[in-house]
Structure 1
Amino acid sequence: MGFLKKFFKNTYRDGGVRHGKSSFDHLDDEQLEAHLNIAKYGSFMLTDAVRPSYDLQVVPRAGYRHDAYHDKETGIKIPVIMASVSKEHLLDVFIDLMAPLGDEVDVVLETSHERRGGHQDLYRESIDVPILKSTLYDFEDLLLNDGCTGFAVLNPNIPLEIQLDEHKLIIIYGNELVDFKDILDDYNIDCNEDLKFITEAEHVHSSSEDFSRQFRQLQYRLGIDDE
């Protein structure tokens, strides 16, 4: 199935819609096709998983910024780095960012296949990092281009967590983040505290039945059951 056909058949909107109106309203097929076919903005290449709003409320670009996660139950505030990485470097950066987590990690496979809003987290404890890296490269197409698949790697003993979410943003949680910033710097991904991400405006996700099948294959390879 071609990319555009996949988008037309499997796209759904997410993010902020201004005053109940979507930027995709009233577009004809030619305008929609032209927009969905744009994968590159300047030097930044999007994956096939997402596209920004038609009116480009946020223009995709590379960079990272600092943020914080607030746990409502405990009141704990956890430092966060959020990063946007061009497609040609995305999986390499994500895998290199695992280095500070050690040689053995836990993983979370995230899915929103057959869902609209919300997702399911599938957890596996204790996997050797070299095996994990090899597996992720085997499923590069799924991880980069499926808008319903996310993946997280964590070491609860440190604790640190790295997430490649459904929007193909990299999100890093932990109190000691210097090593991660050094890795981002090695890829010339600059810090920009004013950076806006595609999640902060209307956008569209794309998936397919084939990606759903690939997801189940990855789940099997990782030894994760539906529980």
Structure 2
Amino acid sequence: MSEPGPVTILLVEDDEVIRRSVAMALERYGYRVTVAADGLTGLELFRDGRHDLLLLDVMLPALDGIGLCRRIRESSTAPILMMSARGDALDVVSGLEAGADDYVVKPVDTAVLVARVRSLLRRAAFVPPAAAPSDPPQTVAGTLVFGDLSIDPAALEVRRAGEEIALAPTELRLLLEFSAHPGIVLDRQSLLRNVWDYGWDGDTRVVDLCVQRLRKKIGADRIETVRGFGYKLRR
């Protein structure tokens, strides 16, 4: 069996200095980097090749990073990390709503960038939560059942009313975390640690926006907001 090739990252950034410095930083850690200077070129490269992760600037010519993220999400669940020049709340929320998994603020700290990339790649490997529920839900041949929602942790398949649902890696890990603790309130910081692999306090907006996307796919009433505390999966 042949050894797997290096992880390939598609970097779309219009600023040449930032594009070169980020590409060089990632290559030093062994990643293979493909670069594009505008959104339309980035979309073409995405369609023409296999990329394990996408790193997109928000402000891009031809097609901005938000639009590019939406176009990619039409056909791919590959991890997407957005870069925002200011960490502006509107940029961050727009990127996450478009389907991005996380974001970093420019100027990008290399250590933070690589940590986020590694975290996203671990999530994309579909490693489910190890914790077992104290009061397990109904199971059918290893499948967890919550009303019309069924989750097969081994096959990594989610169905609603018998129809399979396509979830991005982060959405799937989030749902698996909830399904491992049905009826238990999970606070945002613990979700950041267990789902996003954050070893430090992060922006809890990524949790809120991912929960929002997940609700649209599995049913708005399936995940309950416990105001002031966090979220829980209804039994």
Higher strand share: 1
More helix by share: 2
User: Higher relative contact order by CA 8 Å / sep ≥ 6: 1 or 2?
Assistant: 1
User: So what's the TM-score if we normalise by structure 2?
Assistant: 0.30
Normalising by structure 1, report the TM-score: 0.31
